[in-house]
């Protein structure tokens, strides 16, 4: 198509020959000239299929041999194939794509108004350089709203230009190279970033899981921070399974290297002003403020021990797993010392044998990861709990299904009684719901399908209404217990199983504190069946989550909500209700909220939607990193298309043909990510690009 247009133009004497020689003849050239090429931001690394060591493409191009360089590893990095032209090509066996965050900063800070937007949080007191404000000096009135992340105590406490060092005694220290000390956020371009990591399925069969890392700028207002166009897809980790710790660190290395560069400052050309922009080279500084993800990803990225560890199941304190069987697992918690954990992580790395590392890890729950190289990073204080997975997919799900439905709390007391489950579901059917509620709360007995987090969130706001209808006798909920049922019934079997499991955990707990004789009998570990107790717990949980999880929350509300959650957990433990680790994690919401502002700053809803964008893209299903490369190029292809649309919108004197092209581009973008990225879209754009130059020379289509 492009070559035929060139031949047609060559017959026109008014077209200069030098213009014809510069004419783009391939889609790739057109992409590059239009700013749609992503090669400046994406680098494809090679990963050893056996050990997980990472190799830069330059190494693969110049390597003398194709075997892995790690000792005792026989992994093959690439195969040599002979093309039809006779040229020999090196094809890596396993690759992963990584995006440069410095290149992303260069792009995003050239968007109109973005430089000003990143300073929109500033007040009249934030116009000059200032020293960091220590956490101990951070004080706000208990009724002062904490909305944006800039309102928390972590925003102004971080010094700029920090570096992490280890002394001869093995103590790790963070020191600033700035003299005098300057707060990072007081710099003209001092940025805070949040990282998200998640693994998800990308095939219909559900047997191929890839991992994605996203980065967002915390300086952008919260309602814009998590928009698709403002999210940087940094890394896609190849499937079909999750990587081990070594491979994960290897893949994170390019990101960590660039974050360390940004910590000391990188010169970037920035657009200042919107209507009459000025471009200046400025030093840009950035830090990784927090890692927002589900609990399993926080454990994996932060070097935690895992939820089955008796000594170290919690990232934030040293409570024992067995203590969750009694109220002690929720009060007077022995919080972790961030500095001690950091020293432990570096000491773990210094150990030479796998046996030594395992023994030390089992005892301390600390393992070195790539994130520990970043100054200011501490797993226990930089990995806030995620409300979506914790409060809704975790706790609300457990209360309604595991605590009420499965143990038979909603069964008939007498055969002649109305079915409580039917009354619960009927109430949901009869309740008025706003039209913008696309998904309704889950019904009992119909939970085999996958229930979304927003359904559980909605359930926390109104579940006490249908539960009242299910529990009530007349107009009141009786202060009575639901019969346990026959031994052969499903509910009775569930109660017996839970009582035995609770008894085992209590045996561990009482043995640990040296009082094995005080452990209750199995008969005393059966869960409470009192209707009023369970209704009070559900009502309290609805109040607590409604108080904490909102866009703006005051320190007084945070304290109230945290204390209410603590009371809920203690009451459950005293009434023999087995609780999973998620209930304990709720005890660690207060401090992160004071540091980072409301829970909306650590929500992962938008990033889960980003996973949906990736999983919805078309790909050929090929493994070895080919699928992952397609997803990465697709993501940045959408970003490039949005930039092209932005460029067309800013044209000072748009012609009707320009408007037609803009309409076509918008139509392609709105058609969905998988449609917007097909080569046909760009071909259609070229076909409609009737510029004044081509019209001048009689070319109405290319």
Please give the pLDDT value at position 437.
74
Contact 257, 101 (CB under 8 A): no
Q: How confident is the model at residue 381 (pLDDT cuts 50, 70, 90)?
A: very high
Please give the pLDDT value at position 697.
43
Round to whole Å and give the CA distance between 51 and 70.
8
Q: Which residue has the higher pLDDT, 7 or 244?
A: 244
Please give the pLDDT value at position 27.
56
Please give the pLDDT value at position 23.
67
pLDDT in tens, 272-294: 987 778 999 999 999 999 999 99
- Give 327-342 as a DSSP string: GGGGSS--B--HHHHH
pLDDT exceeds 60 at position 689? no
Q: Which residue has the higher pLDDT, 46 or 136?
A: 46
Instruction: Give the chain's mean pLDDT.
Output: 89
What is the 3-state composition of the chain as percent helix, strand, coil, each rounded to the nearest 5?
Answer: 45, 15, 40
pLDDT exceeds 90 at position 3? no
Mean pLDDT of 538-551: 97
Please give the pLDDT value at position 33.
60
pLDDT exceeds 90 at position 29? no
Structure tokens at 401: 């299904």
Q: Which residue has the higher pLDDT, 128 or 313?
A: 313
Please give the pLDDT value at position 642.
77
Round to whole Å and give the CA distance between 30 and 26.
6
pLDDT exceeds 50 at position 414? yes
Q: How confident is the model at residue 672 (pLDDT cuts 50, 70, 90)?
A: very low
pLDDT exceeds 60 at position 687? no
Q: Which residue has the higher pLDDT, 700 or 43?
A: 43
pLDDT exceeds 50 at position 171? yes
User: At a CB cut-off of 8 Å and minimum separation 6, what does 689 contact?
Assistant: 657, 661, 702
Q: What is the DSSP letter of 394?
A: I
Q: How confident is the model at residue 141 (pLDDT cuts 50, 70, 90)?
A: confident
For residue 270, give the 3-state DSSP assignment. strand
Q: Is 632 exposed, middle or buried (CB count within 10 Å of its CB: 0-12, 13-18, 19+)?
A: buried
pLDDT in tens, 384-411: 999 999 999 999 999 999 999 999 999 8
- In this structure, the number of other CB atoms found within 10 A of the CB of residue 527 comes to 20
pLDDT exceeds 90 at position 465? yes
User: At a CB cut-off of 8 Å and minimum separation 6, what does 286 contact?
Assistant: 105, 190, 191, 192, 193, 259, 262, 263
Please give the pLDDT value at position 245.
95
Round to whole Å and give the CA distance between 300 and 293.
10
Please give the pLDDT value at position 28.
62
Give me the phi and psi of 666, to 5 degrees please.
-65, -40
pLDDT exceeds 60 at position 686? no
User: At a CB cut-off of 8 Å and minimum separation 6, what does 374 contact?
Assistant: 164, 256, 259, 260, 263, 287, 288
Q: Give the DSSP H or E segment for 614.
A: helix 605-615
Please give the pLDDT value at position 618.
85
pLDDT exceeds 60 at position 682? no
Q: Which of 21-25, 34-38, 459-463, 572-576: highest mean pLDDT?
A: 572-576
Please give the pLDDT value at position 695.
44
pLDDT exceeds 70 at position 698? no
* Domain boundary assignment for the chain: 2-94+614-696, 305-368, 387-484+526-588
Please give the pLDDT value at position 445.
80
Round to whole Å and give the CA distance between 171 and 344.
9
Percent of the chain with pLDDT over 90: 69
Q: Which residue has the higher pLDDT, 678 or 573?
A: 573
Report how far apart, in Å, the C-alpha atoms of 619 and of each of 108, 209, 243, 494, 626 are: 27, 14, 22, 44, 9
Q: How confident is the model at residue 123 (pLDDT cuts 50, 70, 90)?
A: confident
Please give the pLDDT value at position 207.
87
Name which of 138-152, 186-200, 461-475 the model is least confident about: 138-152
Round to whole Å and give the CA distance between 25 and 644.
20
Round to whole Å and give the CA distance between 403 and 382.
32
Please give the pLDDT value at position 681.
43
């Amino acid at each position: 198509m492009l070559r035929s247009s060139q031949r047609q133009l060559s017959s026109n004497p008014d077209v200069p020959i030098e213009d014809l020689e510069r004419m783009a003849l391939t889609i790739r050239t057109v992409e590059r000239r239009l700013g749609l090429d992503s090669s400046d931001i994406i680098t494809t690394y090679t990963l050893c299929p056996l050990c997980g060591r990472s190799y830069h493409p330059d190494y693969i191009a110049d390597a003398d041999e194709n075997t892995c360089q790690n000792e005792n590893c026989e992994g093959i990095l690439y195969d040599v194939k002979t093309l039809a032209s006779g040229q020999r090509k090196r094809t890596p066996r396993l690759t992963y794509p990584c995006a440069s965050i410095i290149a992303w900063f260069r792009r995003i800070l050239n968007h109109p108004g973005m430089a000003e937007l990143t300073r929109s949080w500033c007040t009249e007191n934030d116009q000059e350089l200032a020293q960091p404000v220590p956490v101990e000096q951070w004080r706000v009135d208990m009724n002062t709203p904490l909305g944006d992340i800039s309102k928390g105590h972590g925003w102004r406490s971080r010094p700029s230009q920090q570096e992490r060092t280890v002394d001869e005694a093995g103590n790790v220290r963070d020191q600033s190279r700035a003299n005098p000390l300057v707060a990072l956020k007081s710099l003209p371009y001092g940025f805070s970033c949040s990282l998200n990591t998640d693994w998800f399925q990308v095939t219909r069969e559900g047997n191929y899981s890839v991992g994605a890392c996203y980065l967002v700028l915390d300086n952008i207002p919260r309602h814009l921070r998590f928009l698709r166009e403002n999210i940087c897809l940094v890394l896609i980790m190849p499937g079909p399974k999750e990587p081990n710790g070594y491979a994960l660190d290897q893949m994170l290395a390019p990101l960590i290297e660039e974050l360390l560069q940004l910590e000391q400052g990188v010169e970037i050309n920035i657009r200042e002003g919107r209507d009459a922009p000025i471009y200046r080279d400025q030093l840009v500084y950035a830090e990784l403020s927090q890692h927002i993800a589900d609990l399993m990803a926080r454990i994996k990225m932060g070097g935690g021990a895992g939820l089955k560890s008796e000594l170290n199941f919690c990232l934030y304190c040293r409570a024992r797993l067995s203590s969750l069987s009694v109220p002690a697992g929720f009060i007077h918690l022995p919080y972790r010392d961030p500095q001690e954990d950091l020293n432990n992580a570096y000491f773990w790395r210094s150990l030479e044998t796998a046996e030594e590392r395992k023994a030390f890890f089992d005892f301390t729950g600390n393992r070195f990861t790539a994130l520990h190289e970043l100054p200011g990073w501490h797993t226990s204080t930089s990995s806030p709990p995620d409300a979506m997975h914790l409060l809704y997919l975790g706790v609300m799900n457990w209360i309604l299904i595991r605590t009420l439905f499965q143990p038979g709390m909603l069964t008939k007391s007498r055969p002649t009684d109305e079915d409580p489950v039917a009354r619960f579901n009927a109430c949901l059917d009869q309740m008025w719901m706003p039209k913008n509620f696309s998904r309704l709360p889950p019904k009992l007995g119909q939970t085999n399908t996958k229930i979304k987090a927003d359904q559980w969130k909605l359930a926390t706001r109104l579940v006490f209404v249908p539960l009242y209808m299910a529990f009530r006798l007349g107009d009141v909920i009786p202060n009575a217990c639901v019969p346990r049922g026959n031994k052969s019934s499903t509910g009775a079997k569930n109660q017996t199983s839970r009582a035995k499991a609770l008894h085992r955990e209590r045996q561990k707990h009482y043995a640990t504190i040296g009082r094995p004789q005080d452990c209750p009998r199995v008969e005393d570990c059966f869960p409470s069946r009192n209707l009023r107790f369970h209704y009070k717990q559900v009502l309290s949980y609805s109040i607590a989550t409604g108080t904490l999880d909102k866009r703006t929350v005051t320190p007084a509300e945070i304290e109230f909500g945290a204390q209410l959650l603590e009371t809920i957990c203690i009451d459950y433990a005293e009434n023999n209700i087995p609780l999973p680790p998620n209930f304990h994690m709720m005890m660690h919401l207060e401090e992160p909220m004071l540091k980072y502002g409301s829970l909306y700053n650590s929500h992962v809803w938008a990033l889960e939607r980003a996973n949906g964008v990736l999983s919805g893209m078309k790909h050929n299903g090929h493994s070895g990193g080919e699928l992952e490369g397609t997803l990465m190029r697709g993501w940045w292809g959408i970003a490039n298309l949005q930039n092209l649309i932005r460029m067309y919108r800013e044209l000072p004197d748009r012609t009707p043909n320009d408007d037609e092209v803009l309409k076509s581009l918008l139509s392609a973008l709105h058609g969905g990510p998988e449609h917007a990225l097909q080569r046909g879209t760009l071909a259609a754009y070229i076909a409609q690009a009737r510029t004044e130059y081509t019209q001048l020379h009689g070319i109405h289509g290319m």
